[in-house]
Amino acid sequence: MSMINYASREINCKLVYYGPGLGGKTTNLEHIYGKVSPNTRGKMISLATETERTLFFDFLPVDLGTIRGFKTRFHLYTVPGQVYYNASRKLILKGVDGIVFVADSQIERMEANVESMQNLYDNMAEYGYDLTKIPFVIQYNKRDLPNAAPIKDLQASLNPGWPIEDATRQKQTPDPAHPGETLVDKIGGEWVGHAPYHEAVAVRGDGVFDTLKAVSKFVLKTLS
């Protein structure tokens, strides 16, 4: 739920990093915190356990620039990934404008990824939000690990596509991040859409800003 403050000339949007436990959500925020100039970001808040597992959320406000004289301020949140923290995870999704799903590429974590994706879909549905209709980007993290699953397998499990019923969107749309691939295409006579995806090694910072840029641009375009 973006909020436009005409008094302070700010557009505030909420982005949530979702995904299975130990997938790299907090690492994404830590990297952004470390790289962005202190003038354009606020304090990072982490409500974590003693073993640095996210208990409630991490929070980082970032200013991404000015559009039409309005400061675009994005509030980045992560959720606790562990299954039993669903009550607090759901609270963080309230009023979300855009979502990044941070998937753990390791073959052993495939089931945890699928479970978390289903949980995201269910939690969104409980608020009456449709995941396929809001800005949503998938990040395949930990691409440097030897046991990382091939992208096509991850895509097949986590981003298999959904029917596009809106006639205005029924046109072949190339994926700007992956030449030769499409975000919307006609498959077997039906229009199918996929979420944009990015590969990442968050611990080194690879792909972290590509993902953030993709989702925030998506959110602003939704407002335009």
Contacts with other proteins, residue ranges (CB under 8 A): 1-7, 11-12, 14, 42-43, 45, 47, 56-57, 59, 61, 64-65, 67-68, 70, 72, 75, 77, 87-88, 91-92, 94-97, 127-130, 133-134, 213, 216-217, 220-221, 223-224
Q: What token pair was written down for 101?
A: 């799903």
Minimum CB distance to other proteins smaller for 178 or for 217: 217
Characterize 184-196 residue by residue with b for buried, 16 or more Cβ atoms within 10 angstroms of its Cβ, and e for exposed. Answer: bbeeeeebbbbbb
Phi and psi angles of residue 63, each rounded to the nearest 5 degrees, phi first = -95, 125
Which letter does DSSP use for residue 155 in this model?
Answer: H
Q: CA-to-CA distance for 52 and 36, rounded, in angstroms?
A: 22
Within 10 angstroms of residue 156's Cβ, the number of other Cβ atoms is 12
Minimum CB distance to other proteins smaller for 7 or for 51: 7
Shortest Cβ 224–other proteins spacing (Å): 4
Minimum CB distance to other proteins smaller for 42 or for 114: 42
Minimum CB distance to other proteins smaller for 58 or for 104: 58
Shortest Cβ 87–other proteins spacing (Å): 6
Shortest Cβ 83–other proteins spacing (Å): 18
CA-to-CA dists, residue 197 to 5, 37, 44, 100, 178, angstroms:
31, 26, 26, 9, 9
3-state secondary structure of 17: strand
Minimum CB distance to other proteins smaller for 86 or for 157: 86
**CA-wise closest residue to 123 among 86, 150, 85, 155:** 86
Shortest Cβ 127–other proteins spacing (Å): 8
Shortest Cβ 217–other proteins spacing (Å): 5
- Centroid of chain to Cα 152: 19
Shortest Cβ 26–other proteins spacing (Å): 15
Minimum CB distance to other proteins smaller for 6 or for 84: 6
Q: What token pair was written down for 5?
A: 């403050």
